[in-house]
Amino acid sequence: MIAEGVELGADVEVGPHAIIEEGARIGRACQLASYAIVRANSVLGEGVKLDSFAVVGGEPQMAGFDPITRSHVEIGNGTILREGVTVHRSKDEQGVTRVGAHCFLMGQSHIGHDCRVEDHVTLANHALLAGHVSIGTHTFVGGGAAIHQFCRIGEGVMIGGNTSIMSDIPPFTLVARYNRLYGLNLVGLRRRDYSREEIRDLKDCLFRIFQSQAGSPHKLAKMALENGEFGQTAPGRRFLEFIIESKRGYARPANRE
């Protein structure tokens, strides 16, 4: 069922009983399996794959939302949404929920309204993102993990299965259980060919920021950027900048419980 005025790129495949509502734009070589649903004004980049019962552009799950609000979802090139995945549109007029390119959203995972998910992010089965969550590139969210609204997850993070996230998670770290840091995501760093110097610098940043008794993480990160004592590589600077920009606070190291 394809509404009038829908834009379909070349070589698009639409399975039986799939629904594409008015104003949607479907990029070249997209594949929509049977019973996939693309709600009004949603935008799919090239080569996006929607499995059965995936729904893109559904209304935000919030009391008092006015369904006449004009908002939508954008999905980047090459992203895969497996069976039952849901991505909700923004709650704001002309707002956008964005999912980047080459992401992999496994079965029954959910992305809430106004989220910003960058490229190469993986959500395992039943991972849940509340509204306004942001996730950096190359991050993996384990099965059943739940992330509270407005949390920021840095790039290259590994989140363990069934983890509850209530605070910001610094880039390149490994987090599990309930807001607990377990060091750097070394496997992810090596797979992305980060140098030994960059990994050493990140280890130094993590230790100095979260193990020091000299001040708050925000204060220590700001001082480090100013005096160059540590965080001298590009990944190290991104780590420190993330700490400075945090408004929700940070996950705590497990060894400081």
**190 — phi, psi (to 5°)?**
-70, -35
Catalytic status, residue 131: yes
**210 — phi, psi (to 5°)?**
-105, -10
Catalytic residue (choose from 72, 113, 126, 138): 113
Residue 202 contacts residue 235 (beta carbons within 8 Å): yes
* Cα diameter, the chain: 63
Query: Count of H helices and E strands in the chain?
Result: 4, 27
Two tokens, residue 114: 């106004």
Catalytic status, residue 102: no
Of the candidates 230, 116, 106, 243, which has an alpha carbon nearest to the alpha carbon of residue 172?
243
Residue 120 contacts residue 141 (beta carbons within 8 Å): no
Two tokens, residue 210: 């979260």
Catalytic residue (choose from 27, 57, 112, 131): 131
Query: What does the alpha-carbon distance between residue 149 and residue 146 come to, in Å, rounded to a whole number?
Result: 10
Catalytic residue (choose from 51, 114, 201, 204): 114
Catalytic status, residue 113: yes
Catalytic residue IDs: 113-114, 131
